[in-house]
Amino acid sequence: MIFISEVGPRDGLQNEKKILSTTKKVELINQLATTGVKKIECVSFVNPKIIKQMADAEEVMEQITRVKEVLYGGLVLSQSGLDRSLKSNVDFLNVAIASSNTFNQKNSKRTVEESISELSRVIRTGVEAGIEMIGVIGTAFGCPYDGVVPKERVISIAEKFLEAGCKEITLADTTGMANPKQVDELIGYFYKSFGVSTRLALHFHNTRGLGLANTLAGYQAGVRHFDSSIGGLGGCPFAPKAVGNVCTEDMVNMFHEMEINTNIELEKLISLALWLEKEIEHNLDGMVMKAGVPCTL
């Protein structure tokens, strides 16, 4: 069984030039909740002056129609973000850090060590409030500024986040630098460090066309939790030449063709991706939304 966290409403929309209205964002989230996706990253509680696409986070969370068994959450990078999120009835929070200093400075204006210190407190506070806290380690497979990130540093950050109370760690390929061999090796090192019972998720971008290959490598290495974005929407405001996340429909199609269950309705995802493409007003990167579901011969 595959568990997919849909990140399009946050990680996808935050990189779009066109800012969707609150009503359209709510419509997107509500429609995603009908596809069988059980986890949706809806918003980001960050400085609205910097990420204007996420300025209406509270309004979006207030207006969505919640579906039973679907978890709704957001992203936080600081204590102030957590304070906002706790007023918005979130089910989970992704707490993000970049494992490379240069990228983390651009993303959050802090060194890695400074972010670890603050975010560990954020995680503890969130856990005390009853929120599921997920530690997201960005640039885990490489940084466009600093190059190779030692796997020992990635594991060290994961250890501190788990000690603070995270129930899940997400290793994020923020700019699409990973390859399947590297994915297999880092996952092996992670499980060797923490055991296979520690919940691990993977977050890939398709910058160099290896998103699905890396997803498959992760699956073969034992991971069952993956982030993806409707239509392949997204990118990163602080990453040069980064493109969207692995496309949700393409990922679901791959697993379904392999006879691996996701409990997600692919046709609904395709229809929603086509609707979103019109709203965004440019072509999206998803492939199955263009080609359709393979015919059964």
Where in the sequence numbering do the catalytic residues fall?
236
Residue 22 burial (CB < 10 Å; 0-12/13-18/19+)? middle
Residue 217 burial (CB < 10 Å; 0-12/13-18/19+)? buried
- Alpha-carbon distance 142 to 176, whole Å? 9
Alpha carbon 272 to chain centroid, angstroms: 19
Whole-angstrom Cα Rg for the chain? 18
Beta strands in 149-252 (DSSP E): 168-173, 200-204, 225-228
At 10, is the secondary structure helix, strand, or coil?
A: helix
What six digits make up the tokens of 1? Answer: 């069984």
Which residues, 6+ apart, have CB-to-CB distance to 246 below 8 Å?
204, 205, 206, 211, 212, 214, 215, 226, 227, 228, 229, 232
At 71, is the secondary structure helix, strand, or coil?
A: strand
Single-letter code of the amino acid located at 199: R
What six digits make up the tokens of 173? Answer: 């390929």
